[in-house]
Chains A and B, each alone.
Chain A
Amino acid sequence: MTLALSAGILVTGAVYLMLQRGMLRVVLGFILLSHAVNLIIMAAGGTSRRGEPLGADPDPAVTADALPQAFVLTAIVIAFAITIFMLALAVAGRGDDDTDDLIPVHSQPDMDVDADAAASEATPSDDNPAETLDEFASEREGGQS
């Protein structure tokens, strides 16, 4: 239960940070997320047996499962490497590590439709299918530029 709670707390923090602007916070979120995942993998081995898997003949009744531990060990090191890569991404480029688009995406097509209409001074007509398509095509192109 405590381990489950811990993983939940870490995921909460991780998700919150990953959804923030600023690459550094996203990276911090990833660090928390890898902590959470590692704890979950440990939980998969069970938490009632907590003996160190060391020695010539460990007692399976009290010794922890070594397999999840091995998985987690490698996972920690891989997460470290990935973290460094993401940190490098955070400081690459110009300005700061803000990750947001300059213009929110969802408002783009609308703006372009207005621009189109203003430019051609023609009201889109639904009578002609081809016209509708052309209008749509130009809207699309505008949206992508």
Chain B
Amino acid sequence: MLATFLIATAAVAVAAPFLGQAMGRRAGWVLGPALFALGVALWVASSSNPAPESYTWIPSLGVAFSLRLDGLGLMFSLLVLLVGGAVLTYSARHLTVAPHGNFYGLMSLFAFAMLGLVLADDVVLLFLMWEITTFCSFFLIARSGPPAREPAIRTLLVTGAGGLALLAAAATMAVTVGSTQLTVILASDAWNDTAFAATVAVLLAFAAFAKSAQFPFQAWLPDAMAAATPVSAYLHAAAMVKAGIYLLMRFTSVLGELPLWNAMLISVGLLTAVMGAFAALRRYDLKSMLAYSTVSQLGFLVAAIGIGTPEALVAAAVHTVAHALFKSALFLLTGIIDHQTGTRDIRILGRLHTTMPATTVLFGLAALSMAGVPPLLGFMSKEGIFAAFLTAPGPAWVGFTVATLGVLAAVLTFGYASKMVLGIIGGPAMTKPVKEAAPIYLFPVALPALAGLLVGLWPAPVDRLVYDAGANASGTPVDGYLSLWHGVNTPLVMSLLVMAAGVGLALARTRVDRFVEPLASPISALRIVDKARVGIIRFGDRMGDITRTDSPNRHLAVPIVSLVIIAGVAVATLTDLPAIVGDPTRPFDWVLVGLLVIGVAGAIAARSRVAAIAIIGIVGFGVTLWFLTLGAADVALTQLLVEILTVVVMVLLLRRLPATFRKASKRRAVGAGMIAAVAGAATTLAVFAFTGRRELSPAGEYFLREVKTDTGGTNVVNTILVDFRALDTLGEITVLAMAGVAVLVLVQSRTLLSSKSARIFVSPDSPLRRERDNAVFLRTLSRLVGPLTVVLSLFFLLRGHNAPGGGFIAALIGGAGVALIYLAADSDESARSRLPALALIGSGVVLAVVTGLLGYVDQSFLRPLHFDLFTVHISTAVVFDVGVYLVVIGVVVASLNLLGTPTRRAMRDLDAPPDAEAPTRTASKEQVS
């Protein structure tokens, strides 16, 4: 049944934008009564004590869409729906600024979220609804035009921060209690753990203070006044800020006796109450006064909740109702006054009782309720709260202080309430003619205003409502009935005191105004929010600057420096390392170290690109030798071949680049040198500390032992590549294939740097110009070596399973052959390899995958099949290796073709003129021009 109400409200929210679109502001005539009717229906239905409901939502996390209705939830639900109904009905007459669909949609969604919030029996659901109200209020404020933009953002930031605190509280509770269900959490005995209770108390108080505009978050609410009147009315009276009050009341049953909770709520609440009331007294704009009044009244409520006794919570419940009634009425009436007279300034407004009598009477009724004058509901609630203040926990002086501050806040409240009323009826009559509002406009406002009087005179209908709410909130049954007259007691004396002092303030209001006006707070909370916001964004901007660059150096420096820092931490913390196993060093190693030192120093010092590339080659050969001495023949072979091909490709690019490097600035050289030295030292230390301190790994031992039995091969490294860990290899050749395709795409989509002009002029008659003759030596050699490399390559491919070789090495040998033919060619065009590079790459990947699929014949993907063909042992792993071969040779051919010769597009352009010399033109052009 509860879900039905929620769905019905959701249906209103869904229909609202369309109705608003179709009917304009008159949609309020439908939507307002609809919400109101839902509220009445819920009240009627609540008498049958609807059972809790739960629907599957996120079962994997134990989160359910659980709803329940108790007295506390009912009270807030009624406020949300009834006040919401009144506000929307009022909007039908009040709104001026389109689009109305947007307004009605957000307002009904707001009502839906608030209803969901107070009905939720799951903290995750509660949090979700809480956040929806945050966003609704943001959009509702923001839709009021450019001046509302900043207030909307500040509201979002402050209330959003509160939402995060609520999330933290929800997570803490869910983890500690082991359930997200609210009833289970509230019934848990985890609250006996003071640390847990205190943590949650602080988080919840943070969330509620931010939502309910309590110190130090009080600034957003008056700021949010920029919103349209109906929005403010709803925000201040029933929605948004009341969510914080609801949260505090909901958790009082478990936190009400926690001294920290009492202290936080009472002190913050009273401080806010006095500050807010004082601020309201300083204003002249009715709406602004009401906004500060809300801050103050909420502070009053928070302090009352902080007392924590059942009676205090009943009083808080009564005051919540009273405040909802008088505050919605006052806001809406202010909207009417503004609408009819064009101003909200009480210094301009005057003698409205003669021009707008009905409005003035209603305004007066609501204001008197706010001031706490009998027989209105506001008097009753204030009495109850005074009584509660007197019972404040702790030593006797606490109760006295709390009560005194409460009286002070109440006196100030009386002061600004009377200032508002006297402001609109006193003073000279307004210069422009003022007309009373139409009855249909006043009618929705009359409801809450008169309700405040009716309930004050005949409180019986709401007895159950507020006592149940108080009982549910405090977790202790409490019974009683509301009454204006409790006999002569301390609260009555306090009330009389308040009224007497208040009347004094009202009489002396000119002098009071003169006194309070200059007392502006030196600290603007809004400015603090803005400063913080600007500061954070600026900080983010500065942080972003670090990476906002196209230069790769900055990006590269970050991980390097981070790694060095990690290494530093490791050095500082590592103490106990296992002993080094065996003798890790051979005398010959030092030769290799020397070779690398020379190579690296040369690479750093090289000024010209040719030199740098040549020296890098030396380093590569040094590393190759390292692999060889470490017993890795396959690896050494691979490294050697890759080194050759890398140098060839780099040389091909040289003609497109300047001959020498730019000279590095001193700063860069020193900076880079320092980072480099530290990184190098860190590497050496890390390798020394972390390697060579254990026996052969179990995996390594397994491979050595089982190689023959498992694979039929004897080259362990190759069997790992194509058999044991073939999936790795499949992934790897896919990377290779992608790199080949990427180079192709890059070269075809971007223009390459143009070739640099030659520095030496070569006469056309010179023998140096005869490309064909000059290449004779290499061509002759390649004619001989070419077929040899093909044979050699196939030989290495086939024997790879048992001896050094395999697909990678074989393909690199083949690639070296292609490179040789390329270098021996006499022109760019004839150098281009005719091998279909992309087809080779593609067919290689396909072949490897198909071989892998064959493995399903025997259990699994990539499992090699073994069979004997004419007494020769054959394994499909070798076929897989052929796939590897094709991919690698394809990539080599592609890179030579793409980087070594002009792009096809360029070639086509060159071929275009019907000129016999065209094919050789590129070559000659580069040498001459």
Contacts and interface: CB of A to CB of B under 8 A. Distances in A.
B925 interface: no
B683 A7 contact: yes
Interface residues of A, number: 99
Contacts of B630: 3, 42, 47, 50, 64
Interface in A88-134: 88-101, 105-106, 108-109, 129-130, 132-133
A54 B637 CA distance: 15
B553 A20 contact: yes
B729 interface: yes
A6 interface: yes
Contacts of A143: 541
Interface string B689-702: 01110111101110
B603 interface: yes
B23 interface: no
B683 A136 contact: no
A132 to B, nearest CB: 6
B807 to A, nearest CB: 10
A77 B736 contact: yes
B551 A100 contact: yes
Interface string A10-31: 1111111111111111101001
Contact of A6 (B552, B626, B714): B626
A117 B695 CA distance: 69
* 10 interchain residue pairs of minimum CB distance: A48-B582, A12-B680, A8-B684, A13-B600, A2-B589, A129-B530, A81-B739, A19-B672, A65-B700, A4-B687
B596 A6 contact: yes
A35 B891 contact: no
Interface of A: 1-26, 28, 31-32, 35-36, 38-40, 42-58, 60, 63-70, 72-74, 76-85, 87-101, 105-106, 108-109, 129-130, 132-133, 136, 140, 143
B603 A32 contact: yes
B661 interface: yes
Contacts of B553: 18-21, 26, 99-100
A77 B888 contact: yes
Interface string B612-630: 1100100110010011011
Contacts of A2: 584-586, 589-590, 592-593
B583 A48 contact: yes
Given A3-B630, A129-B531, 16 more contacts: A7-B684, A8-B684, A12-B680, A16-B672, A18-B552, A18-B556, A28-B616, A35-B619, A39-B626, A47-B691, A52-B632, A54-B804, A63-B704, A87-B899, A91-B753, A129-B530
B725 interface: yes
Contacts of B541: 109, 140, 143
A59 to B, nearest CB: 8
Given A5-B593, A25-B612, A92 B746 contact: yes
B676 interface: yes
A19 B674 CA distance: 11
Interface of B: 150, 524, 526-527, 530-531, 533-534, 537-538, 541, 545-546, 548-553, 556-557, 560, 581-586, 589-590, 592-593, 596-597, 600-601, 603-604, 609, 612-613, 616, 619-620, 623, 626-627, 629-635, 638-639, 642, 645-646, 649-650, 653, 656-658, 661-662, 664, 668, 671-673, 675-677, 679-685, 687-688, 690-692, 694-697, 699-701, 703-705, 707-708, 714-717, 720-721, 725, 728-729, 732, 735-736, 739-740, 742-743, 746-747, 750-753, 803-804, 808, 812, 888, 891, 895, 898-899
Given A9-B680, A39-B623, A136-B534, A84 B150 contact: no
Contacts of A109: 541, 545
Given A7-B684, A77-B638, A143-B541, A47 B899 contact: no
A106 B544 CA distance: 10
A47 B692 contact: yes
B687 A60 contact: no
A52 B638 contact: no
Contacts of B633: 52, 54
A67 to B, nearest CB: 5
A48 B584 contact: yes
B700 A45 contact: yes
A28 B653 CA distance: 13
Contact of A101 (B533, B551, B650, B715): B551
A36 B683 contact: yes
A123 B752 CA distance: 48
A89 to B, nearest CB: 7
Contacts of A44: 690-691
A78 B887 CA distance: 12
Contact of B742 (A14, A67, A85): A85
B545 to A, nearest CB: 5
A94 B631 contact: no
Contact of A85 (B527, B694, B739, B812): B739
A76 B642 contact: yes
A80 B646 contact: yes
What's the dominant secondary structure at chain B's contact region?
Answer: helix
Contacts of B603: 13, 17, 28, 32
A9 B694 CA distance: 24
A92 B750 contact: yes
Given A2-B590, A16-B672, A92-B751, A64 B680 contact: no
Nearest to B671: A19
Given A20-B553, A70-B725, A92-B750, A64 B632 contact: yes
Contacts of B623: 10, 35, 38-39
Contacts of A91: 653, 656-657, 752-753, 899
A5 B704 contact: no
A99 B552 contact: yes
Contacts of B533: 133
Contacts of B537: 136, 140
A105 B545 contact: yes
Contacts of A90: 653, 657
A60 B592 contact: no
Nearest to B664: A20
User: Which of B581, B673, B683 gathers the greatest number of chain A CB atoms within 10 Å?
Assistant: B683
A69 B739 CA distance: 23
A129 B529 CA distance: 9
Contact of B753 (A22, A53, A95): A95
Contacts of B552: 18, 23, 26, 99
Contact of B662 (A4, A22, A64, A130): A22
13 contacts: A7-B687, A11-B682, A14-B676, A15-B675, A36-B683, A40-B687, A43-B691, A48-B582, A58-B716, A66-B700, A90-B657, A101-B550, A105-B548
A140 to B, nearest CB: 6
A24 B657 contact: yes
B751 A94 contact: yes
A82 B891 CA distance: 11
A114 to B, nearest CB: 17
A57 B590 CA distance: 31
Contact of B668 (A6, A19, A81): A19
A56 B708 contact: yes
Contact of B527 (A95, A129, A136): A129
A67 B888 CA distance: 21
Contact of B716 (A66, A95, A100): A66
B429 to A, nearest CB: 37
B717 A49 contact: no
B79 to A, nearest CB: 34
Contacts of B676: 11-16, 19
A93 B101 CA distance: 52
B662 A89 contact: no
A42 B808 CA distance: 19
A83 B728 contact: no
Given A24-B612, A132-B530, A51 B631 contact: yes
A84 B638 contact: no
Contacts of B593: 2, 5-6, 9
Contacts of A32: 600, 603, 616, 619
Contacts of A133: 150, 530, 533-534
